[in-house]
Amino acid sequence: MDLAPFHAALQASVASGFWNWEGRLHTPHGLKWVNVRARTRSIDALAAESTGIMLNVTQSHLRESQLLNLSSDLRQIASHLESVREAERARMARDLHDDLGQVLTALQMNVALLRKQFGAAQAPELFGNVDKLIHAAAEAGRRVASELRPSVLDLGLKAALRWMSAQYAQRYDIRVSTELSYKSEVGELIATELFRIAQEGLTNVVRHARARQAWVRCVDVEAHQICISVEDDGIGYTPQEPPASRPSLGLRGMRERAAVFGGSFQLDQSPRGGVRVQVCMPLGPTLSSDDAGAAQPQPSAGDALG
């Protein structure tokens, strides 16, 4: 029961003349949430009179509590589903690497035997085309496996962000600088989400920003949170009226990823002239130690995929 705040609000209303308070009180029908709205006037030095209404707002508080509980349950379900999806992506990436790698390795061996048996001089163009096809299949397998779950994440978030930044810089001819100064341990699931957010942010930069340089920053903040931001020196945008040519699905995906884990999403102008996207997430229970190298990738028969 909120009796002390009730009396404090009542005493304060003597000076202000208005009493507006909401809290829990014992009633003949049990503990209830009530809202008091009244005018208070002083009668003498020891007495005051209040005239107004007292509303029973218990049902609205119960509904609000139910909605909060439902929202919390939905976030937990979404978080669980996301962890299941990431585990499935990791399994598919490993299977693709191993199974396709084994097939391509066997195919390379068979082609080498055919070349030795019949002689490469008999059909140099045919053997050359087969080698090119094997190489293309290996490249496609590497690309798909990397998109499902980059194996560099096994080396930690910092290594993964540096690798991804170098990949974007090389592929799209854009300078990408990184500042990875966080010192907290980051669980596997949160690390994967931060990596996906940075990946989506850089994709937006190369597609829409017309930027020459981008910055990826990951730092610790107060209250056991970690923040990742992607910004650029591109054409920017008007917050009130974002260009229609910019699709919102990427930004919406980042916002939803943050919401699932109780984080925050912010989109604003970058001091460097372009756009800055920042997502902050709470550091929940760690599933693995970031940058500890505990889960090193193991060699397999799929070496044809690299």
**Residue 154 and residue 296: Cα distance in Å, rounded?**
6
Average pLDDT over residues 233-251: 60
Of 114 and 231, which is predicted with more confidence?
Answer: 231
Of 246 and 84, which is predicted with more confidence?
Answer: 84
Say how many residues make up the chain.
306
Look at residue 298 and tell me whether its pLDDT is greater than 60.
no
Q: How many helices (H) and strands (E) in the chain?
A: 7, 8
Of residues 186, 97, 113, the one with CA closest to residue 148: 97
What is the predicted pLDDT for the residue at 230?
Answer: 95
163-218 pLDDT, tens per residue?
999 999 999 999 999 999 998 888 888 888 899 899 999 998 998 888 999 999 99
Of 175 and 82, which is predicted with more confidence?
Answer: 175
Pick from 22-36, 101-115, 205-219, 243-257 the range whose average pLDDT is largest.
205-219
Least confident of 25-29, 32-36, 206-210, 260-264: 25-29
Determine the distance from the C-alpha atom of residue 62 to the mean position of all C-alpha atoms in its chain, rounded to a whole number: 31
Average pLDDT over residues 64-91: 74
pLDDT band, residue 306 (cuts 50/70/90): very low
What is the predicted pLDDT for the residue at 296?
Answer: 38
Tokens of 193: 């989400």
Residue with token string 């945008």: 237
**Residue 304 and residue 138: Cα distance in Å, rounded?**
6
What is the predicted pLDDT for the residue at 238?
Answer: 56
Please name the amino acid found at residue 282: P
Of 223 and 90, which is predicted with more confidence?
Answer: 90
Vertex 213, ends 212 and 214: CA angle to 5°?
Answer: 140
DSSP for 213-224 reads EEEEEEEEETTT
Look at residue 301 and tell me whether its pLDDT is greater than 90.
no
Average pLDDT over residues 224-237: 88
**Residue 79 and residue 84: Cα distance in Å, rounded?**
9
Residue 202's H or E segment, with its range, is helix 188-204
Residue with token string 């854009």: 174
What is the predicted pLDDT for the residue at 241?
Answer: 46
Vertex 148, ends 97 and 188: CA angle to 5°?
Answer: 105
Pick from 6-15, 87-96, 116-125, 205-214 the range whose average pLDDT is largest.
205-214
Look at residue 245 and tell me whether its pLDDT is greater than 80.
no
Tokens of 57: 């707002």
Of 242 and 163, which is predicted with more confidence?
Answer: 163
Least confident of 40-49, 206-215, 246-255: 246-255
Please, are residues 61 and 68 in contact by the beta-carbon 8 Å criterion?
no
Q: How confident is the prediction for the chain on average, in pLDDT?
A: 79
Look at residue 8 and tell me whether its pLDDT is greater than 50.
yes
Of 17 and 239, which is predicted with more confidence?
Answer: 17
**Residue 91 and residue 301: Cα distance in Å, rounded?**
16
